[in-house]
Structure 1
Amino acid sequence: MVSLSPTVRIWLARSRSICENRSTVWRPWSATGSRAIRSGDIFVFRNRAADRIKLLIWEEDGYAIWYKRLEAGTFRFPPSPEAQPRVEVRAADLVMLLEGIDLSSVKRGKRYHRPVPRATV
């Protein structure tokens, strides 16, 4: 599994076709520039059938891909406005997503979350 530090940013892509065509991988992040793509953030993609998921991570010397294919069921991304090409989630949300938990039905108690300074590249 991927190690998740508190400072890592995790982005879910709304477009499902990105998982199948790597030439379109960067479209949701093209507005942020190539520095953001190589920042160490985790980019999460799923296919149209939502039974496969890819995590794309920049390491020191290149990209690493983590891939999971479900034998049954689907990955359920949280709802977000249609205009947003991507949505940021926390590490706990990613773990729940990979375990098959529907994030839209998760009920969270009130908690304090200290702002985490984001690493800049």
Structure 2
Amino acid sequence: MIAPAPGVRIWVAAGVTDMRRGFDGLASLVQQQLGHDPFGGALFIFRGRRGHLLKILAWDGQGLVLYAKRLERGKFVWPQAKDGVVSLTPAQLSMLTEGIDWRMPARTWQPEMMG
């Protein structure tokens, strides 16, 4: 993943999101349910019900950018809150996108040993 610029706010949408949503659906969710401006330069992170897919919505000054990642094994660790947003640091974002639980740094799956 490309690292966010210094000072960029990173918001995780608590709960689960319908991963069929695209640019417009996620931007609407940011405005109406999270109470933030999707065109303000912050990153907004969403996770699907099964926990293996996430999407990040960002405004880069020219248009919306949508980053998606699907883990083949393991899950993305998510806040326990049912709704609202949680702020992350860039280091926590890095661990989150790698499938590492930042509360207790360990992968949610272990790679197979190569013989």
Structure 2-normalised TM-score? Answer: 0.74
Worse-matched range after superposition: 57-66 or 97-106: 97-106
Corresponding residue number in structure 2 for 1:15 = 15
The answer to whether the 8 Å contact 2:55/2:68 transfers is yes
Corresponding residue number in structure 1 for 2:39 = 38
The answer to whether the 8 Å contact 1:18/1:24 transfers is no
Map of 1:1-121 to 2, 5 A cutoff? 1-22=1-22, 24-25=25-26, 26-30=28-32, 32=35, 36-79=37-80, 81-82=81-82, 84-106=83-105
Residue identity matched to 1:5 = A
The answer to whether the 8 Å contact 1:20/1:47 transfers is no
Secondary structure of residue in 2 paired with 1:96: helix
Shift of 1:85: 1.1
Worse-matched range after superposition: 15-24 or 65-74: 15-24
**Structure showing the higher helix proportion among its residues:** 1
Deviations 1:18-39 (A, max 9, x none): 4333465233542635xx2111
How high is the sequence identity, in percent, across the aligned residues?
31
Structure 1-normalised TM-score? Answer: 0.71
CA RMSD in angstroms comes to 2.1
Worse-matched range after superposition: 37-46 or 14-23: 14-23
Which structure 1 segments of 5+ residues have no match? 107-121
For 1:5 and 1:37, the matched residues in 2 are separated by 16
Secondary structure of residue in 1 paired with 2:103: helix
For 2:35 and 2:21, the matched residues in 1 are separated by 20
Worse-matched range after superposition: 4-13 or 19-28: 19-28
For 1:55 and 1:4, the matched residues in 2 are separated by 11
